[in-house]
Amino acid sequence: MNGEKLWKVFQRWEADAEAAAGDETSSPLPRAGMSRRTFIELIGFSAAALAFSSCRPPEQKIIPYLNQPVELTPGVANWYASTCGGCRAACGVLVKVRDGRPIKLEGNPQHPLTEGGLCAVAHAMVFDLYDAERLRQPMIGSQGADWEEVDRQIIETLTTIKQSGGAVRLLSSTINSPTSREVIARFLNQFADGRHIVYEPVSTAAISQAHQKTHGVAVVPNYRLDKARLIISFGADFLGTWLAPVQFTRQYARARNLQDGRREMLRHIQFESRLSLTGINADARVRVSPAEEIAALLLLAKRVAEKRFRHPPAELRSLDETQLPERVRDAVERAARQVWQWPGRSLVISGSNDVDVQCVVNFINHLTGAYGQTVDLRAPTNQNQASDGDMVQLVKEMNEGKIAALLMVGVNPAYDYYAREDFIRGLSNVPVKISFSPRRDETSALVDYICPHHHFLETWDDAEPVPGVFSLNQPTIAPLFQTRAYQESLLRWSGDERSYYEVLRQHWREHLFPRQNGTTNFDEFWDRSLQDGVVVLTSASASTTIPRFTADEVGAAVRRLRARSTEMAESLSVILYESVALRDGAHASNPWLHELPDPITKVTWDNYASLSPKLAEQWQLEEGRVIRLSKGEVSLELPVLIQPGQDDRTIAIALGYGRTKAGRGGSYVGVNAYPLVSFERGTFQYLTHGITIEKTPHRVEFASTQRHHTLDGRPLIKELTLAEYLAEDGDQDQQRARSWSIWEEYPYGEHKWAMVVDLNACTGCSACILSCQAENNVPVVGKDLVRERREMHWIRLDRYYRGEADDPTVSYLPVMCYQCDNASCESVCPVLATVHSSEGLNMQVYNRCVGTRYCENNCPYKVRRFNWFQYPHSDPIANLALNPDVTVRTRGVMEKCTFCIQRIEEAKIRARNEGRPLKDGEIQTACQQSCPAGAIIFGDLVDRQSRVARLRRDKRGYVLLEELNRRPNITYLARVRNREEA
């Protein structure tokens, strides 16, 4: 018998029973049998003994530092300014570091572009840092190796290439770090034929190519929404995914802000065929087919040109206007009139990656005087530097065997290149393949050496998203694994033994320090920049004059577009777009992003072919029916999602899904739609035609978090037009008739917490959901449990369609716990696990909760979440991301939003320790802090002058389901649409 077994009593019985087995007659029971009663008795004894022996404190260790770091106080978070590496927009972040672990990203309010805003992807990046599936060491082939060996082998092969003069290519995504670009250039200079190629799976190369044609500069301008009074967008999802959504959302929300008595707001007209996040926020959304979108753009160009020139270009003059439906023509005519209402303050943009379309856009912006105002060419953005032609050329050269070595940074073409087989075949022809991917993904699995790059929270770097705006990226944790910054690898292989940090400082000393005049001491400049995270310098490269416009190419572009629009008119189009959560698919290994409901369809963990109700009816397709889309050799099977508001000749499919090597969480989720991308007219096209559709017998059930689509006549969302809003005069008396209540009112003393959500600002970007998830240790439940309505997000964004199913108006309502004064949940809890606090919160006491779920059933707003299972917290690395200030809930416990009570308590303690009252705005909830639109305002109602108290008196204010007399403490400010009055 093994003496180490825990069940000592049971063990002894086993030994006895074995001894007794020899003498069958002496045994009171048959050998094989034991009565249930005996079994339970024995188990009972054993359990009792076990319980007694365990009644001793479990021995826990406390391991203090050997040498206390000066800046670190145990239990107190440090905040470091840094730069987000989630995408190429390079937003400013503040990293919350608790006891040496980064646990939360928040927006840096000092950043001139993002001003404290952050998107959903950025919040999810903390999960990526603690992803145990990241590579832990460099790899040679599929074998782990050490850095010395890898360096030795790579330097050896690169030296051979240097001598033979072979072609070396460094393929990267957009790199907006000036120092990294310098390191790359220096590395490539060693070779006779070394080139840096920028590849973006979702490219905006057409914008820079069009500017090359019309202005002679190949750049993507910086669009200044904050200066615009009118935006006319042709399918550009600038609030969701296009270029720099956080920056645009910030500017957009500010230009539409009606708080504190403002009376003017930006007008936004959107022409689009799929229903995008940007489209639903527009004051006027015009549903068009892709062909009509082009025709509408041309008509707008014609109208604008007619106003400016006596003789507009012939190609425009002869434009056939009748091919556009009257509805669209009307909308264009109206838009064209409004352009002149605010001269120079209008902005026309297009999400198309077609050079001709962008040429016409430039033409219009030139005529309306937008250049120099809303379109900044002098300080163009670095946020998408894709060069599609170079990438295609590279793959061609690879296939021809002309490339001697290929190095890849932040790209995954074996997954997201439109002709991935070509790329993979080409890759096998390249003798030396090196990837800096932190994971073994589709591409890095095919290379000779993987030299894993750090997570951006572990590394030094800088960024210059827009000329003159420099931000620093500093490590906030020592590398968890044996990874190395790719810049450092390149330095090693360039024969430079310095660390990247030294190179970075050197670069700043030489190039940035001379451009500032705040201080004469470089260390002081560096320290201040590092502390602020961002420094704005007058741009050295920015020219003072706007490049001249030449209309030479416009005529030909119009001609081609006219032909294409006619040719496309009757055919079915497929639009490929980036989803708000997954974007281009680079972070598809992140389950937080997969479980983030799509802002419009509310579907998680899947992509789909969305089509209009009319088209579905015509083809007799029901939701969830799997269809096969084929074009040439490409064939995809996708479930159908019926999307109101979509054009009747368009199918929309999200890119970024269908990864095959994205780890446990992200592999084989959805279908890869990149094979439908094509390379035509010098750029990648995300619009395709000539698709055949076949019905399959399969059906799937979507994991959707919202199944109802309409308001059913209830006044849950209030909307008004700007004219209506302005017509209502003065402050509306907020003294609503208070219905009689059987409850006594609570006496509130020191504080009474409340929130205001400005629906006019909220765009539905969903950043708040993930910010809350990161702050409050909210678990991910997976596709099956979402299907069973057991998702755990504490905030949900309710989306409602109104009007015609073909072309509805869409509205959002962010719903979290309302902390009602007359809370339904409190009166039904049998164990007092949810009770009212003296500060007006509905507290949820996890350790008291026994899980009856009465509160959840009684809550009219459905904001409570129940832990049906013990969600896994077994991964010691993933657990490092948990916020120690928030209890991790176990199975059988109810949970919900409590206005980030841990932040309230922390701020209260700080204020009391310092012997001062709390300042208004000192406490920011997680959802509020990084809302790019600034839609959420939290504060104390006892302070009558607080911002939240003032906004609660706004005439747009209303509460949800007021007739129930729950007296919720979240007030919504009604959305205002700036419609042109007829």
Q: Which residues bind another protein (CB under 8 A)?
A: 8-9, 12-13, 16-17, 19-20, 26-29, 34, 38, 41-42, 45-46, 48-49, 52-53, 55-57, 59-68, 73-76, 744-745, 747, 749-750, 835, 837-839, 841, 843, 845-848, 885-888, 898, 901-902, 905, 909, 912-913
Closest approach of Cβ 972 to another protein, in Å? 25
Amino acid at 460: W
CB of residue 922 to another protein, shortest distance in Å: 16
- At 279, the amino acid letter reads G
Q: Minimum distance from CB of 72 to another protein (Å)?
A: 10
**DSSP 8-state secondary structure symbol assigned to residue 321:** G
Least distance between another protein and beta carbon 601 (Å): 34
- Taking the C-alpha atoms of residue 82 and residue 856, their distance in angstroms, rounded to an integer, is 40
Assign 496 to helix, strand or coil: coil
Residue 56 Cβ vs another protein, minimum distance, rounded to whole Å: 5
CB 947 to another protein: min, Å: 23
| Six-digit token string for 240 | 């969701």
Report the nearest approach of another protein to the CB of residue 28 (Å): 6
Least CB distance from residue 592 to another protein, whole Å?
Answer: 22
Q: Which residues are 12's β-sheet partners?
A: none
Closest approach of Cβ 63 to another protein, in Å? Answer: 5
Of 49 and 145, nearer to another protein (C-beta) is: 49
Q: Kindly give the residue spans of alpha helices, DSSP state H, lying in 509-585.
A: 522-532, 552-568
Nearer to another protein, 1 or 63 (CB): 63
Query: What's the CA gap between 124 and 766, in Å, rounded?
Result: 12
User: Do residues 702 and 624 make contact, with C-beta atoms less than 8 angstroms apart?
Assistant: yes
For residue 682, give the DSSP letter: T
With 0-12 CB in 10 A as exposed, 13-18 as middle and 19+ as buried, what is 774?
buried
Nearer to another protein, 37 or 262 (CB): 37
CB of 20 to another protein, least distance (A): 6
Closer by beta carbon to another protein, 260 or else 914: 914
Nearer to another protein, 49 or 284 (CB): 49
CB of 943 to another protein, least distance (A): 14
Closest approach of Cβ 19 to another protein, in Å?
Answer: 6
Query: Which CB, 614 or 848, lies closer to another protein?
Result: 848
Question: Tokens for 722?
Answer: 């700007």
Nearest one of 447, 236, 265 to 352, comparing CA atoms: 236
**Separation in Å, CA 835 to CA 795, 821, 823, 865, 970:** 20, 11, 9, 16, 18
The tokens 């479980």 sit on which residue?
595
**CB closer to another protein out of 53 and 635:** 53
Please, which residues bridge with residue 171 across strands? 197, 408
| Residue the block writes with tokens 């009118």 | 230
**3-state DSSP assignment of residue 475:** coil
Separation between Cα atoms, residue 321 and residue 871, nearest integer Å: 59
Considering the complex, state which of residue 67 and residue 945 has its C-beta at the smaller distance from another protein.
67
Nearer to another protein, 190 or 890 (CB): 890
Nearer to another protein, 590 or 844 (CB): 844
Q: Residue 536 burial (CB < 10 Å; 0-12/13-18/19+)?
A: middle
Three-class HEC string of 249-301: HHHHHHHCCCHHHCCCCCEEEEEECCCCHHHHHCCEEEECCHHHHHHHHHHHH
Please say which residue, 714 or 912, places its beta carbon nearer to another protein. 912
The single-letter DSSP state of residue 511 is: I
Query: Cβ closer to another protein: 169 or 889?
Result: 889
Separation of alpha carbons 600 and 604, rounded Å: 11
790 near 603, Cβ under 8 Å?
no
Q: Which is nearer to another protein, 69 or 261 (CB)?
A: 69
CB–CB of 819/970 below 8 Å? yes
Rounded-to-integer distance, Cα 870 and Cα 868, Å: 7
**Closest separation in Å from C-beta 71 to another protein:** 12
Closer residue to another protein in complex, CB, 106/826: 826
Closer residue to another protein in complex, CB, 159/870 = 870
- What are the residues whose beta carbons fall under 8 Å from the beta carbon of 671, sequence distance 6 or more? 607, 636, 637, 638, 653, 657, 658
Give kind and range of the element (H or E) at residue 684.
strand 683-685
Question: Of the two residues 720 and 888, which places its CB atom closer to another protein in the complex?
Answer: 888
Residue 615 and residue 641 in contact, taking contact as beta carbons nearer than 8 Å: no
Give the DSSP per-residue string, 135-184. --S-EETTEE--HHHHHHHHHHHHHHHHHHT-EEEEEES----HHHHHHH
CA-based R_g, the chain, Å: 31
The four Cα atoms 409, 411, 414, 415 give a dihedral, to 10 degrees, of 150
What is the β-pairing status of strands 970-973 and 957-958? antiparallel
Give the nearest distance from C-beta 480 to another protein in angstroms: 19
Please state the closest distance from residue 845 (CB atom) to another protein, in A: 5
Task: Name 601's Cβ contacts closer than 8 Å, sequence gap at least 6.
Answer: 608, 610, 641, 643, 704
Single out the residue of 425, 436, 418 nearest to residue 397, CA to CA: 425
The torsion angle over the Cα atoms of residues 579, 583, 585 and 586, rounded to 10 degrees, is: -160
- Shortest CB 467 distance to another protein, Å: 42
Q: Is the Cβ of residue 2 or residue 620 nearer to another protein in the bound state?
A: 2
* Least separation in angstroms between CB 472 and another protein: 28
The residue among 304, 360, 365 whose CA lies nearest residue 333 is: 304
Beta carbon nearer to another protein, 136 or 912? 912
Smallest distance from the beta carbon of 964 to another protein, in angstroms? Answer: 24
